[in-house]
Amino acid sequence: MTFAENLIQLRIASQLEFIDLVTSLTDNLSALAGFDEDSVYSINMAVRESVANAVEHGNRYDPNKPVEITFMIGSANLSVSVRDHGEGFDPTSLPDPLDPSNLLNPAGRGILYMRSFMDNIEYERHPEGGMVVTMLKTRLEISGQTPTVADGGEKRQDAVGN
Amino acid sequence: MTFAENLIQLRIASQLEFIDLVTSLTDNLSALAGFDEDSVYSINMAVRESVANAVEHGNRYDPNKPVEITFMIGSANLSVSVRDHGEGFDPTSLPDPLDPSNLLNPAGRGILYMRSFMDNIEYERHPEGGMVVTMLKTRLEISGQTPTVADGGEKRQDAVGN
Amino acid sequence: MQLEISERRIGEVVILDLVGRITIGDGSLHLHDAVGRLLDEGRNRLVLNLAGVTYVDSSGIGELVSRHTTTRNTGGRLKLLNLPKKVRDLLQITKLLAIFETFDDEASAIASFES
Amino acid sequence: MQLEISERRIGEVVILDLVGRITIGDGSLHLHDAVGRLLDEGRNRLVLNLAGVTYVDSSGIGELVSRHTTTRNTGGRLKLLNLPKKVRDLLQITKLLAIFETFDDEASAIASFES
Ligand SMILES: Nc1ncnc2c1ncn2[C@@H]1O[C@H](COP(=O)(O)OP(=O)(O)O)[C@@H](O)[C@H]1O
Ligand SMILES: Nc1ncnc2c1ncn2[C@@H]1O[C@H](COP(=O)(O)OP(=O)(O)O)[C@@H](O)[C@H]1O
């Protein structure tokens, strides 16, 4: 089995109680990847919302369906993808939570928060079923403060640079 | 894909920097599973040693080989298994770290610690290659303090009992 | 407990001091129940003091909105006190700041029910 | 930094105050280097003050053993001061308590080099 040196994958049963485990791991991983406190919070929010959606709307709380979270620590960003095993949905045809007639809806804001807190998010259907959302957060490079772990590209650069 | 409702799996690239991510998740998960502080520490130690072995001796620091950690929250115990993708080894033919002639060895104590801190540990070769160690920690039930998350057996019991 | 809620009554007004996280599952549910119980008792002049709230997700925001609506439907009001910056930002992003009456000091929040 | 090491010299004796974790990777390496540097300078009456050590794994224990041996090989001694319970237990399990000279107060640790 081959794997990428900057990958971390977590797979949980569809239980709300497990979401905090995912976000704690996310916080530790974002810090390790060199993100500042604000970004750690933003990534946490987006991961929480996406995993909650996967459990609630995707897997419909079926505890025998897993949610898979894949983190990829890049030299310039962190990518997080969240996959469920549900029926999928069309993200382009959702009600707009900012439409005045929807403002008082008790739900429907999660994806908007994910978009606001991450630099990019993309939905696609997984070829073997279920939905995958991939979210990207870019790291603002602070000079002299490089992450200890990143993908091969950065490492090779370091090896040359130092 | 089917999954068990009490499962959590983590897969990391073989990097020492990732071990702390595994042990933090382990701590949160042990606490969620209802273990007391001492047991949380014991499980942490055993997980750290087994993952370090998988990275060092199993995958030989090959960052493109993953280590897979599977947690199963049972009604009476927590099971943690750690799998690498190395050549495997024979755990029955290791030098005894307690033998006076080995006392000053700089290494060779990890498995002894794993055995001391867990209630049971078992090694086996994975059919598709690599080594799997499965470790069990039993939860001392404190009356009135049941874990929020456990396997189906316990839940059904609760449903009847309460 | 994710979210601790304690209750103070000042005349007709009930102040709920919230400490912890309002998130999907226990946190949101607890807030839902606490407000529901007060409305059942006919107490509908409510102030949520959010000073001690450390984290809110979309489920928590949804709960604030839905409790705002139910309270209004009884002829009452649910007002927000001491919004932490993160909560204010979440309300801002979803254009909800205009929906809620918010206060930075308790006396003004209480006085606002007089008029 | 996983492990912070600061150095105090009391006569011929060097006390290293360790704060943090001695674990596989950075922690063990840092201890290895700190002792190595002192031995290179010819300073081999060493006391490791472990009061501030919060966590040690088998790699850390291995590092203590190996630095004990290298120090002895130069004719010196490496002694342990203020063992936290968890570290004492780890040494106990692996029958290493008998190998190390351990102390609960600094004055005795220093005085032990006189005899
Ligand atoms: N993983 C998913 N699988 C199926 N449907 C989803 C998924 N994620 C989101 N949705 C749909 O998108 C809608 C909007 O999601 P979101 O903005 O997170 O708000 P909320 O979860 O509060 O409804 C959901 O109500 C649901 O219909
Ligand atoms: N996952 C593994 N794959 C291959 N060999 C292993 C693995 N885990 C342990 N070993 C072997 O068992 C020995 C003892 O392991 P351990 O007691 O943890 O001590 P240490 O790691 O300090 O050598 C190792 O030196 C190694 O030879």
Q: How far is the CA of B150 from the centre of ligand 1 (A)?
A: 27
Q: What is the pLDDT along chain B (162 residues), one digit of tens a residue?
A: 678 889 999 999 999 999 999 999 999 999 999 999 999 999 999 999 999 999 999 999 998 999 999 999 999 999 999 999 999 999 999 999 999 999 999 999 999 999 999 999 999 999 999 999 999 999 976 544 455 565 543 333 333 333
Average pLDDT over residues D44-48: 98
Question: How many angstroms separate the Cα of B131 from the Cα of each of A53, B54, B55, B65, B122?
Answer: 36, 8, 11, 13, 11
- The domain total for chain B is 1
Q: Which residue has the higher pLDDT, A145 or A23?
A: A23
B86 part of a folded domain:
yes
Name the residue among D24, D65, D93 with its Cβ closest to that of B112: D93
- DSSP structural state of residue A69: E
Ligand 2 within 6 A of B58 CB? yes
B148 part of a folded domain:
no
Of C109, A8, A107, D16, which is closest to residue B24 (Cα–Cα)? Answer: A8
Percent residues over pLDDT 70 in chain A: 86
Which site among A44, A103, A112 would you substitute to test the C interface, given the most C Cβ atoms closer than 10 Å to its Cβ? A103
Average pLDDT over residues D74-82: 98
A159 part of a folded domain:
no
Average pLDDT over residues C22-39: 97
Average pLDDT over residues D44-65: 98
- DSSP structural state of residue A99: S
The pLDDT, as a whole number, for residue B4 is 87
Q: What is the CATH topology of the domain spanning D4-110?
A: Transcription Regulator spoIIAA (3.30.750)
Which site among B11, B17, B27 would you substitute to test the A interface, given the most A Cβ atoms closer than 10 Å to its Cβ? B11
The pLDDT, as a whole number, for residue B55 is 98
A13 part of a folded domain:
yes
Which residues span the domain enclosing B90? 6-143
- Give per-residue pLDDT as tens, A70-87: 999 999 999 999 999 999
Percent residues over pLDDT 90 in chain C: 97
Cβ of A16 within 8 Å of Cβ of C24? The answer is: yes
Q: Give residue C76's identity as a one-letter amino acid code.
A: G
Phi and psi based region of residue D28 (left: phi greater than 0; alpha: psi -120 to 50; beta: remaining):
alpha
CA D68, CA D48: separation in Å to the nearest integer? 10
DSSP characters over C48-78: EEEEEEEEE-HHHHHHHHHHHHHHHHTT-EE
Has residue D84 got a pLDDT over 70?
yes
Beta carbons within 10 angstroms of residue A1's beta carbon: 11
Give chain A's largest Cα–Cα span: 58
Band (A1; pLDDT cuts 50, 70, 90): low
Band (D18; pLDDT cuts 50, 70, 90): very high
The pLDDT, as a whole number, for residue A4 is 87
B96 part of a folded domain:
yes
The pLDDT, as a whole number, for residue B3 is 85
DSSP characters over D62-76: HHHHHHHHHHHHTT-
B67 part of a folded domain:
yes
Average pLDDT over residues C45-50: 98
Ligand 2 within 6 A of B131 CB? yes
Beta carbons within 10 angstroms of residue A147's beta carbon: 20
Which CATH number belongs to the domain containing residue B89 in this structure? 3.30.565.10
Place of tokens 């928590």: C60
The pLDDT, as a whole number, for residue A3 is 85
Q: Where are the domains of chain D?
A: 4-110
CA C77, CA B127: separation in Å to the nearest integer? 64
Beta carbons within 10 angstroms of residue B81's beta carbon: 20
Strands, E assignment, chain B = 7-13, 66-73, 77-83, 120-125, 131-138
Has residue D14 got a pLDDT over 70?
yes
Of B10, B33, B152, which is closest to residue B81 (Cα–Cα)? Answer: B10
